[in-house]
Amino acid sequence: MDTVFIESLEVDTVIGAYDWERTIRQNLVVDVHMGWDNRPCAAEDALHLALDYAAVSERISVFAQSSNFELVETFAERLAGLLMDEFNIPWLRLKITKPGAVAGARGVGVEIERGCR
Ligand SMILES: Nc1nc2c(c(=O)[nH]1)N=C([C@H](O)[C@@H](O)CO)CN2
């Protein structure tokens, strides 16, 4: 299956399991690969047939703005479900990175794959 991807989208949210994290906003980095048949939109050169990466990026940013979770796992799971439902995405691989959360590591986080390719 073809994919449409978004790489290193920085979003701002409330995320963290520790008390000090509940009152601040932090950055997460979102990478997502989404299954899509790109042949119809390419044949007609038509955005309305494409999986619009700009619209998906905006939705991810809006979701992050209003979300408030302890775990990056929860953030990833909820976001994956929302994107698949709202954009009719049959399969996706989603990576959530929390930069600087662990001393000595550039980033830590999770990667999930949902749906069928
Ligand atoms: N598997 C996870 N481990 C940890 C998480 C998490 O979301 N998933 N979160 C934390 C803390 O919030 C940490 O990021 C604060 O720096 C610790 N471990």
Domain ranges in the chain are: 3-115
pLDDT at 21: 98
Q: Is 18 in the pocket of ligand 1 (CB under 6 A)?
A: yes
d(CA 77, CA 12): 17
pLDDT at 7: 98
The set of catalytic residues is 98
Mean of per-residue pLDDT scores for the chain: 98
pLDDT in tens, 62-103: 999 999 999 999 999 999 999 999 999 999 999 999 999 999
Measured in Å, residue 9 CA sits from the centre of ligand 1 at: 20
CATH architecture under which domain 3-115 falls: 2-Layer Sandwich (3.30)
Residue pair 91/114 in contact (Cβ under 8 Å)? The answer is yes
pLDDT at 24: 98
pLDDT at 28: 98
